[in-house]
Amino acid sequence: MAYTVRILDTAEVTHNVRRLTVEKPEGYVFTPGQATDVAVDRDGWREEQRPFSFTSLNAWPQLEFTIKIYPDHHGVTEQIGTLRAGEHLIIDEPWGAIQYKGKGSFIAGGAGVTPFIAIIRDLRERGELAGNALFFSNKEERDIILRDEFIAAEGLRCIFTVTDEPGSPLALGMIDKPFLEKHIDDFGQYFYVCGPPPMVEDVTKHLQGLGAAADTVVIEE
Give the per-residue pLDDT at 71. Answer: 81
Q: Catalogue the long-range contacts made by 44-51 (C-beta closer than 8 Å, 24 or more residues apart).
A: 45/76, 45/79, 46/90, 48/75, 48/76, 49/76, 49/90, 49/92, 50/75, 50/76, 50/77
Q: 104-218 has which CATH code?
A: 3.40.50.80
Domain boundaries, the chain: 3-91, 104-218
β-pairing, 50-53 vs 35-40, is antiparallel
Give the per-residue pLDDT at 190. Answer: 98
- The class level of CATH for 3-91 reads mainly beta
User: Are 3-91 and 104-218 the same fold in CATH?
Assistant: no
Spatial contact of 120 and 129, defined as CB atoms under 8 Å apart = yes
Instruction: Please state whether 51 falls in left (phi above 0), alpha (psi between -120 and 50) or beta.
Output: beta
Query: d(Cα 79, Cα 20) in Å, to the nearest integer?
Result: 13
**Full pLDDT tens readout for the chain, 221 residues:** 999 999 999 999 999 999 999 999 999 999 999 999 999 999 999 999 999 999 999 999 999 999 999 887 789 999 999 999 999 999 999 999 899 999 999 999 999 999 999 999 999 999 999 999 999 999 999 999 999 999 999 999 999 999 999 999 999 999 999 999 999 999 999 999 999 999 999 999 999 999 999 999 999 97
Give the full edge-to-edge strand order of the sheet including 35-40.
50-53, 35-40, 88-91, 3-14, 17-22, 63-68
Task: State the burial class of residue 170 (Cβ atoms within 10 Å of its Cβ: 0-12, 13-18, 19+).
Answer: middle
Angle at 63 between CA 60 and CA 66, to 5 degrees: 120
